[in-house]
């Protein structure tokens, strides 16, 4: 009767759900004359222009309105809430338990709450010329294989130590993803203080199975655009590349971060030039500097990126 082919029987379940929704809409369509005779109270939503949406005059239309509620554009949150309450009262009147509707609303409210919280966090981040600090756990895959499920506790402890030192140095957490941690500071000296605190805290910690857990740290100063989702720009990529070039226990500065710091550093802290290096995806090579102090590891393997070719001045033949 419905003309269903064998091929259609093999379609995914979501195809049937979509078809059922379409059939339900067709069954619930109102012709113009019937719609005109309905009172405003037979609609879940009537906007300020008198346009009526989401008819709820019988059980089939209530079910249809529940399915289409999130697809409806409301004038404001108050109008949306009034329509929601009217729709729920209609569902109760017809003995409909809108479990799927409640689940969808909860998911949407949760997403909206996360977006608002994220926007509030972004609003507190510094703008203009800022200093980025990125960390990455060295040998995280090896640690995971060695520790198994216990690695999650190590990752949690590493993040806690980083956060503690970042807060002490007036920094702002931007993002934490897997083994990486992204932080921003208004002043470059604060970023340096945080980096020193992080390395010292990690070296003093006793780790499971006597393991040596280290992070590489990269610091770069520059300008980037602050959007509702965070920082965007070449400065962010530069900071990530500087971090990636280092080794666990090492603190690397870009030339911009080094210049921004100048002589502004604590006693006993030195910056050693490591030479010019190519940073993947960036148009120009950059001079990288290693932060040195008596209680930090001093010797590391070669950086994890290629040294830039020396510039050769070629005399023009006349």
Q: Is the model more confident about 85 or about 298?
A: 298
pLDDT, the chain, mean: 84
Q: Is the model more confident about 275 or about 69?
A: 275
Cα of first residue to Cα of last residue in the chain, in angstroms, is 92
Which tens digits make up the pLDDT trace of 4-24?
Answer: 344 443 444 444 454 445 445
Joined tokens for residue 146: 């060695």
Provide the pLDDT for residue 154: 93
Domain layout of the chain by residue ranges: 11-119, 126-292
Average pLDDT over residues 233-262: 97
Alpha carbons 294 and 200: distance in angstroms, whole number: 11
Q: Tell me the backbone φ, ψ of residue 125, rounded to 5 degrees.
A: -75, 145
Provide the pLDDT for residue 184: 97
Alpha carbons 83 and 218: distance in angstroms, whole number: 52
Return the percent helix, strand and coil in the chain, to nearest 5.
45, 20, 35
Q: Which of 164, 166, 181, 177 is nearest to 217 (CA)?
A: 181
Provide the pLDDT for residue 276: 97
The pTM of the full predicted model, rounded to 2 decimals, is: 0.64
Question: What SS3 state is found at 114?
Answer: helix
Alpha carbons 223 and 151: distance in angstroms, whole number: 36
Which tens digits make up the pLDDT trace of 166-185?
Answer: 999 999 999 998 899 999 99
Q: Is the model more confident about 204 or about 29?
A: 204
pLDDT cut 70: percent of the chain above it = 81
pLDDT band at 68 (very low <50, low <70, confident <90, very high): confident
Is the model's pLDDT at 87 over the cut of 70? yes
Is the model's pLDDT at 54 over the cut of 80? yes
Average pLDDT over residues 192-199: 98
Helices (H), the chain: 6-9, 13-27, 32-37, 59-68, 77-93, 99-123, 140-147, 151-168, 188-204, 234-245, 255-261
Is the model's pLDDT at 253 over the cut of 80? yes
Q: Is the model more confident about 102 or about 163?
A: 163
DSSP category for residue 160? H
Question: CB-based contacts of 227: which residues, under 8 Å, 6+ apart?
Answer: 122
**Cα separations (Å) of 99 from 43, 66, 105, 128, 187?**
21, 10, 10, 48, 51
Question: What SS3 state is found at 256?
Answer: helix
Superfamily of domain 126-292 in CATH is Nucleotide cyclase, GGDEF domain (3.30.70.1230)
Provide the pLDDT for residue 280: 92
pLDDT band at 94 (very low <50, low <70, confident <90, very high): confident
Average pLDDT over residues 203-207: 94
pLDDT band at 32 (very low <50, low <70, confident <90, very high): confident
Provide the pLDDT for residue 65: 86
Is the model's pLDDT at 255 over the cut of 90? yes
Helices (H), 172-281: 188-204, 234-245, 255-261
């Amino acid at each position: 009767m419905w003309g269903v082919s064998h091929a259609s029987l093999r379609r995914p379940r979501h195809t049937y759900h979509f078809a059922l929704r379409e059939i339900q809409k067709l069954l619930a369509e109102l012709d113009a004359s019937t719609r005109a005779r309905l009172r405003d109270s037979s609609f879940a939503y009537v906007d300020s222009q008198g346009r009526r949406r989401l008819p709820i005059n019988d059980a089939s239309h209530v079910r249809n309105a529940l399915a289409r509620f999130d697809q409806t554009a409301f004038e404001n949150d108050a109008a949306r809430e009034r329509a929601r309450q009217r729709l729920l009262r209609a569902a109760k009147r017809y003995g409909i338990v809108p479990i799927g509707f409640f689940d969808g609303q909860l998911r949407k409210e949760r997403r909206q709450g996360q977006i608002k919280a994220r926007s509030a966090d972004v609003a507190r981040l510094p703008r203009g010329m800022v200093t980025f600090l990125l960390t990455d756990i060295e040998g995280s895959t090896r640690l995971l294989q060695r520790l198994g499920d216990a690695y999650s506790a190590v990752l949690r402890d590493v993040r806690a130590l980083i956060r503690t030192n970042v807060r002490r140095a007036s920094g702002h957490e931007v993002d934490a993803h897997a083994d990486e941690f992204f932080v921003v500071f208004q002043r470059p000296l604060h970023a340096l203080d945080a980096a020193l605190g992080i390395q010292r805290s990690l070296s003093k910690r006793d780790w499971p199975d006597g393991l040596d857990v280290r992070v590489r740290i990269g610091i770069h100063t520059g300008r980037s655009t602050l959007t509702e989702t965070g920082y965007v720009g070449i400065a962010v990529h530069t900071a990530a590349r500087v971090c990636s070039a280092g080794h666990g226990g090492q603190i690397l500065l870009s030339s911009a971060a080094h210049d921004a710091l100048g002589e502004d550093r604590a006693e006993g802290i030195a910056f050693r030039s490591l030479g010019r290096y190519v940073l993947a995806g960036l148009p120009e090579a950059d001079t990288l500097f290693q932060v040195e102090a008596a209680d930090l590891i001093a010797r590391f393997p070669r950086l994890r990126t290629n040294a830039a070719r020396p510039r050769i001045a070629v005399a023009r033949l006349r």
